Amino acid sequence: MVHDVVQTLSATWSPFVLVAGLLLIGHVASGEGLFRLIGAACARVPGGGVPLFLVTMVAVALVTAVLNLDTSVVFMTPVALFAARAKGTDEKAFLYGTIFMSNSASLLLLGSNLTNLLVFSRSPTLGSAFARHMAMPWVAAVVVTIAVVLVWRWRPLRHEAVGGEAS
């Protein structure tokens, strides 16, 4: 029994350490104003809230795939909110879009989702084989997530917010 617990902890410890380290990096980056700077740069996308939302969600999807779900939420939520505020558009679309997209886009790589790492930690599955198998579901998940949030928040995204807040 104790041996099984120790064996399980040793197999699952490294993904948690990785996430904790990335969260610490995110905390430091936030304190240095990095998220505000990136959000302001994103807000320079030509057009209104819809083009900004599209670009931001694609960025969230890519960050999620490369880093992972948890760090994407921590890194990209403030970026998305700063971008929405800088453009004066609907913050709710960016907030919920980032959270939903981080979950949806965590399908592509083994490391994109902590659950993938835990489930496949004892499997001989290659990351490249996993990515090939999950590429189309990942694209579908990204597109559907963008579409759902756009349908839900279309009007607020199409109109400039008054005083930086959208309904």
Alpha-carbon distance values, 95 to 43, 90, 128 (Å): 15, 9, 31
Which among 82, 109, 100, 114 is positioned nearest to 143, based on CA atoms?
100
Residue-level pLDDT at 113:
76
* 152, pLDDT greater than 90: yes
Q: Are 145 and 97 in contact (CB under 8 A)?
A: yes
Terminal Cα-to-Cα distance of the chain (whole angstroms): 54
- For residue 2, the model assigns a pLDDT of 63
What pLDDT was estimated at residue 151? 95
Other CB atoms closer than 10 Å to residue 105's CB: what's the count? 27
pLDDT-derived band of residue 7, with 50, 70 and 90 as boundaries?
A: low
Residue 146: what pLDDT? 97
Residue 116 tokens, joined: 């993938």
Segments making up each domain of the chain, as ranges = 2-158
How do residues 55-84 score in pLDDT, each as one tens digit?
Answer: 999 989 988 888 888 888 888 998 899 899
Predicted pLDDT at 56: 94
Q: Which residue has the tokens 């880093």?
A: 67
Residues 90-147 have pLDDT tens digits of 999 999 999 999 999 988 877 777 777 777 767 777 778 888 988 999 999 999 999 9
